[in-house]
Amino acid sequence: MSNLKIVVGSSNKVKVNAIKNIFANYEVVGIAVKSKVSDQPISDEETIRGALNRALGAKRFGDIGIGLEGGVQQTSFGMLVVNYGVLVDEKSQVYLAGGSRFLLPNEVSKDIYKGKELGDIMDQYANKRNVKHDEGAVGIFTNNFVKRTEIFEHIGLLLYGQMVSGKNNININNNR
């Protein structure tokens, strides 16, 4: 096992477990870190910013910081669920990746326009508790063919691969 400590900027078990599944040979812990964006990010830009803020905050507690953030993006076809991740490595290089997108039913997206958070809407919609800490909206709307953990695992793999290759890192000083 490597001595690197990877910190996920969240205490959400879905996000932490996704990263643990990828970085199985490393110490991975989750720490609640503020995203410094709204509770329900409503654009790609805001969702990326939340992931970046979480990664930078998490990096203070370990060698590598990872931020994962879910949000929504309005399109002419309807509202999409979006997910992004940012990894800050031990050299403070920053990597960005996005995940799968899927369309929300209008009956769900209308409540987001009213200022509600998708996680709360999904609890009511599915008549369950803590959907965002379990299968997520993606699990509900795909009949569990795809789970939220899998989306964040895919993002984690994209981040890990970029870090290993040493390419595609972003300069956050130009994007603040």
Helices assigned H by DSSP within 40-174 = 44-59, 106-113, 118-126, 136-141, 148-165
pTM above 0.85, yes or no: yes
Tally of domains within the chain? 1
In a domain, 112, yes or no: no
pLDDT of residue 3: 87
pLDDT of residue 40: 95
In a domain, 154, yes or no: yes
CATH code, domain carrying 160: 3.90.950.10
In a domain, 27, yes or no: yes
Mean pLDDT by 10 residues, the chain (176 residues): 89 97 96 96 98 98 98 97 97 96 96 94 94 92 95 98 88 65
In a domain, 106, yes or no: no
pLDDT of residue 170: 79
pLDDT of residue 104: 97
- Structural domain including 152 reads 5-101+147-174
